[in-house]
A = this chain, B = another copy of it.
Amino acid sequence: MNSLTVALLQQSCNASREANVAACIQGIRKASLLGAKLVVLPELHNGSYFPQNEDTSLFDLAEPIPGPSTDLFSAAAREFGVVLVTSLFERRAAGLYHNTAVVFDSDGSMAGKYRKMHIPDDPAFYEKFYFTPGDLGFNPIQTSVGKLGVLVCWDQWFPEAARLMALAGAELLIYPTAIGWDPLDAADEQERQLNAWVTVQRGHAVANGTPVIAVNRVGHEADPAGIGSGIRFWGNSFVAGCQGEFLCQVGNDSEELLTCRIDLRRGEAVRRIWPFLRDRRIDAYGDLLLRYRD
């Protein structure tokens, strides 16, 4: 396999699980008709972005894995013959919940899951309340289209996560995401934030010689408590090649089904001219395991 066509579903989501799931299935169907063999959905695509507030009743949204959503997406992956990256609110036990990406192979089997390791917490993103930090480590998921380095949103700011996936043989880095602006922030701050988000992920592509796929939500979601100004999810889903170059990218204001062809041979060619894995100073990296070097 020399190339792979991937599809990114940049979606807006709302409180209706039924409507969101229908939109996902519709997108997967279209992606398959366009020739995609790998389809990536945004973070927590089944609902509105509920961590805008802390509310114990919202744990009712979580479901077991396997469970109703995995049954449904397993069937979709099989029906449309695609490898599928989904993002679910996992109920592991009473009082123990995760933000979990589940990957299905094109025969509908569950290829693997990844529990979000880095958990954010800042105003309007109260994720530490809802999501226990992952305990499955940084391990790529083997599928029929390759070894997928699936990470989730906040993980995208951490070069360590990308590196660990690359060191374990990930052929693609994939980030289902839900990130946006505080509508009250100034335009120049919003621009810096968006560019930082794009840049740091392109940097992971460069540092690891590995393509990066980032799929974000789009559109405004109001604060259900009516206190904050909500979040304007900034879209800008993109695919970067092994040198961080844009292979494709969409805008910040509408739902999009983006397909992109990735040359899978490029990675080794790039790593031959830029053999960073050869030259890492693993003898001198011990302090990366410290919180701070003080």
Contacts and interface: CB of A to CB of B under 8 A. Distances in A.
Contacts of A203: 159, 199-200, 202-204, 206-207
A289 B285 contact: yes
Contacts of A200: 203, 206-207, 244
A126 interface: no
A273 interface: yes
A132 to B, nearest CB: 13
A288 interface: yes
A157 interface: yes
B243 A196 contact: yes
A96 interface: no
Interface in A120-176: 120, 122, 133, 137-138, 154, 157-161, 163-164, 167-169
A229 to B, nearest CB: 15
A293 interface: yes
Contact of A160 (B119, B161, B281, B291): B281
Given A195-B244, A200-B207, A284-B137, A292 B277 contact: yes
A183 B291 CA distance: 44
A274 to B, nearest CB: 7
A117 to B, nearest CB: 5
A55 interface: no
A26 interface: no
Given A159-B163, A202-B199, A207-B200, A118 B277 contact: no
A138 to B, nearest CB: 7
A293 B138 CA distance: 11
Nearest to A167: B293
A294 B169 contact: yes
B192 A243 contact: yes
A204 to B, nearest CB: 7
A294 B292 CA distance: 29
A290 interface: yes
A138 B284 contact: yes
A133 B278 CA distance: 13
Contact of A276 (B133, B157, B202, B289): B157
11 contacts: A117-B281, A138-B287, A157-B207, A157-B276, A158-B281, A159-B159, A195-B244, A199-B202, A199-B244, A282-B290, A288-B289
Interface of A: 117-120, 122, 133, 137-138, 154, 157-161, 163-164, 167-169, 192-193, 195-196, 199-200, 202-204, 206-207, 241, 243-245, 273-277, 279-282, 284-294
